[in-house]
């Protein structure tokens, strides 16, 4: 039996919040492959020592933190609940849909601003070694939320982002949100165990190679049409709208009541979408952080290092 048919509950510990934690780690590891040398150096000085300078190892922190008493205020920052009607009509209005306490778009905007100041502090020698938790948290939130905003059900309000939409996958009763968080990424990678939280896995190395070789139906340079950290609200809203469109184009429109999404073709059709969204998240995150660190020095020559 193929590993992708061994997706049992013990393996698929899907979070109700976003891509499974290990998928977040892998998005971070992918982003690191696009870092310029100075980016790696500066960010390593912001993170606490336990991450060993790795954004990938820190990228899943925000989910666990949101479930603590201290961090529960940040729980709603992981999504934006639209007031549209998928699959008949998908529309995201940031001003209308972002909740009073914040959403993934406002969180990216706010934490990007904080991180920008933190990077300036590191460069001036004000601190290093993860001693400023406000700065470390900002970096970890930015790394995490750029992953969240590319998960289609984090940009849709129907059934609480799919969390109350009951489905079956691989003969396991679950909900649609969990299917997109982990079931489909594991299906795409043809694995029967979680991805590493310490280093990049082969499936994601393959996605990085495809980005560099321009092997997506959209040219990766087009993903950077809005990648200016000085306009975080504008760019994050654009990314959220892209994710929201998938809710009409596939996520809800292809679900068939009573069928097994793991065997009825739904998962197979979703694989290219998941690969695309994960790759966009990683490439945009790498570029976003490069630009925050490099500032005006982030030039065409710097982009050439990405080997696109």
Q: For the segment 126-139, what is each residue's pLDDT rounded down to a tens digit?
A: 877 888 999 999 99
Structure tokens at 50: 């336990």
- Which residues, including other chains, have CB under 8 Å from residue 222's CB and lie 6 or more apart? none
User: What pLDDT is recorded for position 18?
Assistant: 64
Q: How confident is the model at residue 7 (pLDDT cuts 50, 70, 90)?
A: very low
Q: What span, in angstroms and rounded, lies between the C-alpha atoms of 182 and 15?
A: 8
283, pLDDT greater than 90: yes
Of the candidates 7, 72, 53, 34, the residue with the CA atom closest to the CA atom of residue 208: 34
Q: What span, in angstroms and rounded, lies between the C-alpha atoms of 209 and 213?
A: 6
CA–CA–CA angle 206, 207, 209 (5° rounding): 65
Of the candidates 239, 213, 217, the residue with the CA atom closest to the CA atom of residue 228: 239
Q: For the segment 182-204, what is each residue's pLDDT rounded down to a tens digit?
A: 999 999 999 989 999 999 999 99
Kindly report whether the global pTM for this prediction surpasses the value 0.75: yes
Q: How confident is the model at residue 19 (pLDDT cuts 50, 70, 90)?
A: confident
Q: How confident is the model at residue 307 (pLDDT cuts 50, 70, 90)?
A: low
Domains belonging to the chain, first-starting first, are 3-304 (1.10.575.10)
User: What pLDDT is recorded for position 185?
Assistant: 98
- What is the mean predicted confidence (pLDDT) over 267-287? 98
User: What pLDDT is recorded for position 108?
Assistant: 98
Q: Is 294 buried (19+), middle (13-18) or exposed (0-12) by CB count in 10 A? A: middle
37, pLDDT greater than 50: yes
3, pLDDT greater than 80: no
User: What pLDDT is recorded for position 132?
Assistant: 95
Q: What span, in angstroms and rounded, lies between the C-alpha atoms of 37 and 173?
A: 45
- How large a percentage of the chain has pLDDT more than 70? 91
Of the candidates 182, 158, 170, the residue with the CA atom closest to the CA atom of residue 85: 158
Check if the beta carbon of residue 306 is closer than 8 Å to that of residue 220. Answer: no
Q: How confident is the model at residue 179 (pLDDT cuts 50, 70, 90)?
A: very high
Helices (H), the chain: 21-32, 37-46, 55-58, 61-66, 94-97, 104-123, 133-148, 159-162, 176-178, 184-189, 202-212, 232-246, 266-294, 300-304
Q: Is 173 buried (19+), middle (13-18) or exposed (0-12) by CB count in 10 A? A: exposed
- What is the mean predicted confidence (pLDDT) over 261-273? 98
Q: What span, in angstroms and rounded, lies between the C-alpha atoms of 134 and 111?
A: 10
Q: For the segment 205-245, what is each residue's pLDDT rounded down to a tens digit?
A: 999 999 999 999 999 999 999 999 999 999 999 999 999 99
Sign of CA dihedral 192, 217, 148, 289: positive
Q: What is the mean pLDDT of the chain?
A: 92
Q: For the segment 63-112, what is each residue's pLDDT rounded down to a tens digit?
A: 999 999 999 999 999 999 999 999 999 999 999 999 999 999 999 999 99
- What is the mean predicted confidence (pLDDT) over 257-268? 96
């Amino acid at each position: 039996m193929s590993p992708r048919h061994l997706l049992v509950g013990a393996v698929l510990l899907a979070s109700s919040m976003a891509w499974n934690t290990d998928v977040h780690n892998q998005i971070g590891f992918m982003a690191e492959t696009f870092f310029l040398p100075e980016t790696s150096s500066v960010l390593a000085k912001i993170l606490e020592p336990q991450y060993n300078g790795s954004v990938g190892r820190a990228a899943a922190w925000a989910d666990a933190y949101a479930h603590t008493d201290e961090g529960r205020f940040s729980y709603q920052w992981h999504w934006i609940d639209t007031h549209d009607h998928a699959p008949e009509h998908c529309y995201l209005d940031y001003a209308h849909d972002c909740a009073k306490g914040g959403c993934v778009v406002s969180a990216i905007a706010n934490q990007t601003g904080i991180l920008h100041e933190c990077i300036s502090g590191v460069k001036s020698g004000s601190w290093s070694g993860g001693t400023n938790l406000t700065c470390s948290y900002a970096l970890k939130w930015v790394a995490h939320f750029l992953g969240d905003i590319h998960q289609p059900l984090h940009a849709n309000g129907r059934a609480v982002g799919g969390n109350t939409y009951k489905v079956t996958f691989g003969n396991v009763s679950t909900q649609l949100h969990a299917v997109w968080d982990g079931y489909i990424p594991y299906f795409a990678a043809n694995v029967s165990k979680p991805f590493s939280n310490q280093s990049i896995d082969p499936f994601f190395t393959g996605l990085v190679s495809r980005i560099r070789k321009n092997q997506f139906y959209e040219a990766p340079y087009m993903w950077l049409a809005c990648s200016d950290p000085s306009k975080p609200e504008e760019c994050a809203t654009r990314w959220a709208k892209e994710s929201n469109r998938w809710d009409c184009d596939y996520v809800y429109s292809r679900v068939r009541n009573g069928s097994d999404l793991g065997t009825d073709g739904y998962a197979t059709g979703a694989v290219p979408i998941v690969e695309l969204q994960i790759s966009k998240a990683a490439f945009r995150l790498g570029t976003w952080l490069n630009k925050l660190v490099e500032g005006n020095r982030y030039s065409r020559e710097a982009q050439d290092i990405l080997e696109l």
